Amino acid sequence: MTVLKNLHQELSRFRLRLVAAALFVLFCFGLLLARLLFLQITQHDALLERAETNRVSVVPIVPNRGLIVDRNGVVLASNYSAYTLEITPSKVPDLEQTIDRLSAVIDIQQRDRRRFKRLMEESKNFESLPIRTKLTDAEVARFAAQRFRFPGVDIKARLFRSYPLGETGSHLLGYIGRINQAEKKAMDDWSEEDVANYRGTEYIGKLGLEQAYERELHGQTGFEEMETSAGGRAVRRLRNRPPTPGNTLHLSVDIKLQALVERLFGERRGALVAIDPRNGEVLAFVSKPSFDPNLFVDGIDADSWRDLNENIDKPLLNRALRGTYPPGSTFKPYMAMAALNTGKRSPSLVIQDNLNFSFGGRVFGSAEGDRAGPKDMRLAIVTSSNVYFYTLANEMGVDLIHDQLEPFGFGRKTEIDLQGEVSGLLPSTEWKRRAYKRPEQQKWFAGETISLGIGQGYNSFTMLQLATAVSTLSSGGERYRPRLVREIEDVVKHTERRTASDALSPLGLRPADVDVIRNAMHDVTLEGTSRAVFMGAPYASAGKTGTAQAIGLRAGQTYSSIKADERKRDHSLYIAFAPYQSPKIALALIVENAGYGSTSAAPIARRVFDYVLEGQYPSEDDIAKTQLGQTTAPIGQSRRAADVPLLPGMAASDPAGAASGVPPSAGAASGSAPGATSSAAPNMAPTATPTPRTAVPSRAPASAPPSPNRGASR
Quick check: helix, strand or coil at residue 698? coil
Instruction: Work out the widest C-alpha separation in the chain, in whole angstroms.
Output: 155
Q: Can you give the pLDDT at residue 662?
A: 40
Over residues 464-474, the pLDDT tens digits come to 999 999 999 99
What backbone phi and psi angles, to 5 degrees, belong to 318? -80, 90
Residue type for 351, please? Answer: I
Q: Can you give the pLDDT at residue 378?
A: 96
Would residue 711 be called left, alpha or beta, if left means φ above 0 and alpha means ψ between -120 and 50 degrees? beta
Q: Can you give the pLDDT at residue 432?
A: 94
Quick check: helix, strand or coil at residue 325? strand
Average pLDDT over residues 517-543: 95
Three-class SS string for 450-465? Answer: HHHHHCCCCCEECHHH
358 is catalytic: no
Residue 46 reports pLDDT greater than 90: no
E strand or H helix at 403: helix 398-405
Residue 660 reports pLDDT greater than 50: no
Quick check: helix, strand or coil at residue 270? strand
Quick check: helix, strand or coil at residue 597? coil
| 518 within 8 A of 473, measured Cβ to Cβ | yes
Report d(CA 155, CA 145) in Å as an integer.
12
Report d(CA 453, CA 445) in Å as an integer.
15
Q: Can you give the pLDDT at residue 711?
A: 53
In this prediction, residue 700 has a pLDDT band, given cuts at 50, 70 and 90, of: very low
- 298-307 b/e with 16+ CB inside 10 Å = b? bbbbeeeeee
In this prediction, residue 42 has a pLDDT band, given cuts at 50, 70 and 90, of: confident
Residue 692 reports pLDDT greater than 50: no
Residue type for 216, please? Answer: E
Q: Can you give the pLDDT at residue 33?
A: 85
Is it true that the peptide bond before 277 is cis, omega within 30 degrees of 0? no
Q: Can you give the pLDDT at residue 691?
A: 33
- 703: which DSSP letter? S
Cα–Cα distance list, 698 to 15, 48, 225, 551, 658 (Å): 103, 65, 56, 9, 37
How many other CB atoms are there within 10 angstroms of residue 231's CB atom? 5
Q: Can you give the pLDDT at residue 568?
A: 81
Across 153-162, 306-315, 412-421, 474-483, least confident range: 153-162
Residue 205 reports pLDDT greater than 80: yes
Q: Choose from 21-35, 45-59, 102-116, 625-639 the range with maximum mean pLDDT.
A: 625-639
Report d(CA 163, CA 701) in Å as an integer.
33
| 199 within 8 A of 60, measured Cβ to Cβ | yes
Higher pLDDT, 24 or 404: 404
Q: Can you give the pLDDT at residue 1?
A: 54
Q: Can you give the pLDDT at residue 618?
A: 96
The residues that bridge with 285 in the sheet, in sequence order, are: 273
Residue 55 reports pLDDT greater than 70: no
Higher pLDDT, 668 or 613: 613
Over residues 396-429, the pLDDT tens digits come to 999 999 999 999 999 999 999 999 999 999 999 9
DSSP of 495-560: EEEEPP-PEEPPP---HHHHHHHHHHHHHHHHHSTTTTTTTT-SS--EEEEEEE-SSPPPTT--GG
- 39: which DSSP letter? I
Residue 125 reports pLDDT greater than 60: no
Cα–Cα distance list, 12 to 7, 9, 15, 18, 20 (Å): 9, 5, 5, 10, 12
CA 422, 424, 428, 433 dihedral sign is positive
Report d(CA 266, CA 591) in Å as an integer.
10
Task: From the candidates 329, 530, 600, 679, give the one annotated as an active-site residue.
Answer: 329
The pTM score is: 0.81
| 273 within 8 A of 257, measured Cβ to Cβ | no
Over residues 541-576, the pLDDT tens digits come to 999 999 988 765 444 444 454 555 677 888 999 999
Across 318-332, 342-356, 498-512, least confident range: 498-512
Across 232-246, 440-454, 500-514, 625-639, least confident range: 232-246
Residue 681 reports pLDDT greater than 50: no
Q: Can you give the pLDDT at residue 418?
A: 95
What is the distance between the terminal CA atoms of the chain, rounded to a whole angstrom?
141
| 217 within 8 A of 251, measured Cβ to Cβ | no
Residue 54 reports pLDDT greater than 80: no
Q: Can you give the pLDDT at residue 425?
A: 96
Residue 137 reports pLDDT greater than 50: yes
- 178: which DSSP letter? E
CA atoms within 13 A on the CB side of 527: 9
Residue 269 reports pLDDT greater than 70: yes
Report d(CA 457, CA 402) in Å as an integer.
13
Q: Can you give the pLDDT at residue 99?
A: 85
E strand or H helix at 617: strand 616-617
Average pLDDT over residues 655-673: 40
Mean pLDDT rounded to a whole number for the chain = 84
Average pLDDT over residues 513-536: 95
Burial bucket for residue 97 (CB in 10 Å: 0-12, 13-18, 19+) = exposed
Q: Can you give the pLDDT at residue 231?
A: 53
Report d(CA 378, CA 373) in Å as an integer.
14
CA 618, 623, 625, 626 dihedral sign is positive
In this prediction, residue 684 has a pLDDT band, given cuts at 50, 70 and 90, of: very low
Q: Can you give the pLDDT at residue 550?
A: 74
Q: Can you give the pLDDT at residue 193?
A: 85
What backbone phi and psi angles, to 5 degrees, belong to 514? -60, -40
Percent of the chain at pLDDT exceeding 70: 84
In this prediction, residue 20 has a pLDDT band, given cuts at 50, 70 and 90, of: confident
Q: Can you give the pLDDT at residue 666?
A: 36
In this prediction, residue 50 has a pLDDT band, given cuts at 50, 70 and 90, of: low
